[in-house]
């Protein structure tokens, strides 16, 4: 992979929960345009680090930079406006809305409407509604789940829910980097192939950067470069999956888990 600048730069992050140090002086870069994999044994601090990057937790110390700007301590919605999107499981309430409605209600991000001007013009609201609906249908088409557009989100299979979560990020106009925490968990093989395909297309065709925590090594091998290995709250090593497989320290960290 050619040298790329860091879209996200994590610098010396420490996160303590009482006496437990979950993230311990962790520094890493997510190169712009990459699909970066984050792997490591359970309890390594991967999800905690994600929560810090996404603004859901504040670090005990250290910094997070987004394209060189210090964004440490910004709230998730502020980061969202800057194009950093973390997928979440479809909240319970949204399960009672249709798949199409789930997509249509995603805030559009930076290019979003001004509420007052929208209120002043119903015509415009209707035009925008039609536009959002068209975009949502496009997303369903890309994900190949158009046939469940009218289905309640709560009735989808685990894999279809994962696709819908990814679809919701595709509704964000200025989405530049997507954090995925174990997207393959509970997803069947067929949908996993599709999920990988969508991630790759968003990366290649829309230039979206991904950072993916994943235990499914087949998926990591297929999609991710670089791959960063975390253990005990910090980075153990970083490289291509082939390099990592050849690294005994890494294998030991896994075997020890």
Residues near ligand ADP (CB under 6 A) are 17, 20, 22, 40, 42-48
Distance of alpha carbon 125 from alpha carbon 77, whole angstroms: 23
Nearer to ligand ADP, 135 or 238 (CB): 238
* 57 sits near Mg ion (criterion: CB under 5 A): no
In the complex with ligand ADP, which residue's Cβ is closer, 46 or 194? Answer: 46
What residue 45 binds from Mg ion, ligand ADP, none (CB within 5 to 8 A, per partner kind)? Answer: ligand ADP
The C-alpha atoms of residue 110 and residue 101 are separated, in whole angstroms, by 20
User: What is the C-alpha to C-alpha distance for residues 44 and 49, in angstroms, rounded to an integer?
Assistant: 10
Give yes or no for residue 232 binding Mg ion (CB under 5 A).
no
Measured between alpha carbons, how far is 47 from 109 in angstroms, rounded to an integer?
Answer: 24
Q: Which is nearer to ligand ADP, 88 or 119 (CB)?
A: 88
Write down the H helix ranges in 57-208.
76-81, 99-104, 115-120, 122-143, 158-170, 189-206
Q: Which is nearer to ligand ADP, 42 or 248 (CB)?
A: 42
Which of 98, 93, 91, 80 is CA-nearest to residue 171? 80
Contacts (CB under 5 A) with Mg ion, residues 156-215: none
Q: Is 46 helix (H, G, I), strand (E, B) or coil?
A: helix
Ranges of beta strands (E only) in 1-146 are 6-17, 20-31, 35-39, 61-66, 69-70, 84-86
Q: How far is the CB of 11 from ligand ADP (least distance, A)?
A: 18
Smallest gap, in angstroms, from Cβ of residue 46 to Mg ion?
5
Min separation Cβ 72 and ligand ADP, Å = 18
The yes or no reply on residue 47 touching Mg ion (CB under 5 A) is yes
- Point out which residues bind Mg ion (CB under 5 A): 47
């Amino acid at each position: 992979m050619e040298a790329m600048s860091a879209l996200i730069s994590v610098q010396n992050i420490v996160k303590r929960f009482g006496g437990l140090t979950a993230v311990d002086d962790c520094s890493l870069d997510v190169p712009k345009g990459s699909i970066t994999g984050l792997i490591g044994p359970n309890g390594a601090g991967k999800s905690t680090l994600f929560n810090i990057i996404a603004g859901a937790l504040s670090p005990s110390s250290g910094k997070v930079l987004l394209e060189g700007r210090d964004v440490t301590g910004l709230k998730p919605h502020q980061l969202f406006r800057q194009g950093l999107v973390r997928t979440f499981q479809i909240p319970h309430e949204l399960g009672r809305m249709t798949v199409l409605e789930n997509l249509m209600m995603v805030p559009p991000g930076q290019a979003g409407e001004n509420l007052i001007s929208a209120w002043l013009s119903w015509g415009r609201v209707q035009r925008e509604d039609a536009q959002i609906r068209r975009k949502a249908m496009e997303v369903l088409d890309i994900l190949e789940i158009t046939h469940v557009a009218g289905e309640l989100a709560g009735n989808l299979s685990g894999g279809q829910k994962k696709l819908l979560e990814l679809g919701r990020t595709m509704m964000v106009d200025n989405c530049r980097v997507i954090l995925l925490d174990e997207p393959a968990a509970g997803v069947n093989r067929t949908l996993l192939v599709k999920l990988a395909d969508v991630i790759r297309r968003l990366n290649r065709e829309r230039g979206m950067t991904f950072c993916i925590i994943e235990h499914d090594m087949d998926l990591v091998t297929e999609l991710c470069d670089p791959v960063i290995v975390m253990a005990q709250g910090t980075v153990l090593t970083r490289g291509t999956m082939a390099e990592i497989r050849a690294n005994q320290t890494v294998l030991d960290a896994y075997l020890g888990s």
